[in-house]
Structure formats: C-alpha cells, structure tokens
Amino acid sequence: MTAQLIINGLVLSLTIALMSAGMTLIFGILRVVNFAHGEFYMFGAVIAFFAMNRAGMGYVEASIMAIATVGLLGWVANRLVFRRFHGKLIEGCIAAIALSIGFQQVGWMIFGPHQQILTSPLTGSVEIFGAIVTMDRLLIIGVALVVILGLAWFINSTKMGKAMRAVQQDSEAALTLGISVNRVAGLTFGIATALAALAGTLVGTVYTVYPTMGMLPLTFAFIVIIVGGMGSVMGAFIAAFIIGFQHSLTSTFWGPQFALGLSLGLAMLMLIFRPRGLMGHA
C-alpha cells in the first residue's frame, strides 16, 4: 500500500515537474504565463500517436520526432507571438489563451474526439517492495528523472544556462553584457515546449490521449509554479513533489474529487502568506 502510494505519487510528481519546469522557465524569461502549455503537451502525444499508428514508427522514434516537432513549434510560437509580449503580463496571457483555443481546435480536427492510447514499448510488471509496478510507469519515472537532472545540470553549469539565469534576473542588464535576449527566449521556449511534449508522450502510454488532455496538467503546472515560486526551476521541482504526493495521498484517503480542490487551496494559502513561493524572488 505505502509502496504503491509512493510509486503513484512519483509518476504524477515527475510528469508535472516536466510541465511546470517549462512554464516557470518561460515565466522567468518572458514574464508571460503560457496558457497554451497544455496544448504543447497534447501535441506531443498526438504527433507521437500519428507517427506510431500511421507511419508505423516505434515508440522511441515517434516520441523523439514529436518532441523535436513540438520544440520547433514552440520556437516558432515565440518568434511570431510571445516575443512581442515580453513583460506584458495580461496581454501575453490573452495571446496565449488565444493560441490555446486555436491549438485545441486543431487537435480536435486532426485527432477527433476519441480517446486513444500510445502503446508502450515495455510491457509486464515488476514487484518492488510489495507494490506491483507496471513497466510503463517505471519508464516514466526513469526517463523523467534523467531529463530533470539533465535540465538542472544544463541550467546550472552550461554557458547557455547561465545566460538564461542572467536574462531571468535582469533582461536589460543581460543585454548590455552581450547576451541576445531574443535568442535566449527562443531557446527557452523550444526547451520548455519540448519538455511538455515529452511529458505528453510519456503520460500517453499510461493514460489516454485526447484533444483536451492538456487542461489538467496545465492546472497542475499553475499550482506548482505558485507554490514553488514563479521563475524558479528548483522551486518548481520541489513543489511538483509536494503537490504530486499531496494529490496521490488525498486521492487514496479522501477520494480523487477533493484532490485538486485541496491543491488549489494550498496554492491560495501560499499566495496569501508567502506570495513569492518556496524559492521565488520577490
């Protein structure tokens, strides 16, 4: 029972960590809350589904293709739309909402209303400390952990990561130091949307793929960036674990219908008593 809870909490925490790390990166760089993030997640799963079932690709190739395509799409979206809303919170939100509405409709048109599932390359299950864990869940945990550690390394240790942090702290000062804010923003958007697509392709093997599948993870990502502090990737990781486990525990002991409300209540309390979140800057 306990081990099962931990596995479920871990799967949820890691997928929402992938989503919210991207959203918090975008917020840190462009000061825009990307309402369309859930649609990039959905596109990841939908493109992988078509690549597998129409083009006959394997899961791994299809996922890589989906992630690359969505990353490119994110880069283009930034180039055409988001770049113009740098620092304009409300206008940026509305532009993102417009994209979200449009993308969701595109999802309906190409995918239809049916729920589908991505066939996982790994089948069967193993027993870990008395919990029965299916292999597809293990795959999610493994891949997500590796990617999250890689992202942390990228942001902390590479030159580009340093540039991203510099732009986040003060974009004008970064500009005077010769950092191209536009290039950093484009790259950030590409990485963030690719992370969302990765989450989509991973989750698509366990839960179903459908055009509005991005709404719930988007809500989670909101909660996580509030609790973790907006703009802080480390805060987002910590908060993703808090919220993921809170959700798993509440669902098991009280019932799933209360889990989301409680998460949102936690977020509200956080905003009232410590508005900058766990790790955010004022």
Partner 1 sequence: MLKIMNRRGLNWVIPTVIGGSLLLALPWFGRAYYTHIFILIFLNIILAMGYRLLYVTGLVSFCHVTFYAIGAYTSAILAMKLGLPFGICFLGGGIAAAAAAAFLILVTSKARGAYFFLISFSFLGVMNTVFMQWRSVTGGASGITSIPPIISGFDTVVNNYYIFFAFTILTIFIMYLLDRSRFGSELMAIGEAEDLAEVIGIDVLRHRMVAAAIGALFAGFAGSLFAHYESFIAPTSFPMWTTIYILSWCVIGGVRKFWGPIVGAVLMTAISEYGRMMGAMHAIFYAAVLLAVIMAMPNGIVGLVDTLRTRFGRRQYLGGDTKLGAGPPPVVDE
117 binds partner 1 (CB under 8 A): no
Query: Which CB sits closer to partner 1, 27 or 210?
Result: 27
Contact characters 12-51, partner 1, x per CB under 8 A? ---------------x---x-x------------------
110 binds partner 1 (CB under 8 A): no
**3-state SS record for 82-116:** HHHHCCCHHHHHHHHHHHHHHHHHHHHHHHCCCCE
Q: How far is CA 86 from CA 93, 130, 168, in A?
A: 11, 50, 12
Considering CB under 8 A, how many residues would be counted as binding partner 1? 39
90 binds partner 1 (CB under 8 A): yes
> Are 136 and 122 in contact, with CB atoms under 8 Å apart?
yes
Residues contacting residue 232 through CB under 8 Å, at least 6 positions apart: 24, 28, 277, 278, 279, 280, 281
DSSP 209: B
> Are 139 and 120 in contact, with CB atoms under 8 Å apart?
yes
In the complex, what is the shortest distance from the CB of residue 57 to partner 1, in angstroms, rounded to a whole number? 28
Q: Which of residues 250-279 bind partner 1 (CB under 8 A)?
A: 257-258, 260-261, 264-265, 267-268, 271-272, 275
216 binds partner 1 (CB under 8 A): no
Question: From the list 43, 189, 210, 222, which residue makes contact with partner 1 (rule: CB under 8 A)?
Answer: 222
Residue 158 gets the label, from left (phi > 0), alpha (psi -120 to 50) or beta, of beta
73 binds partner 1 (CB under 8 A): no
Residues of this chain that bind partner 1 (CB under 8 A): 27, 31, 33, 81, 84, 88-91, 93-95, 97-99, 101-102, 104-106, 108-109, 219, 222-223, 225-226, 230, 257-258, 260-261, 264-265, 267-268, 271-272, 275
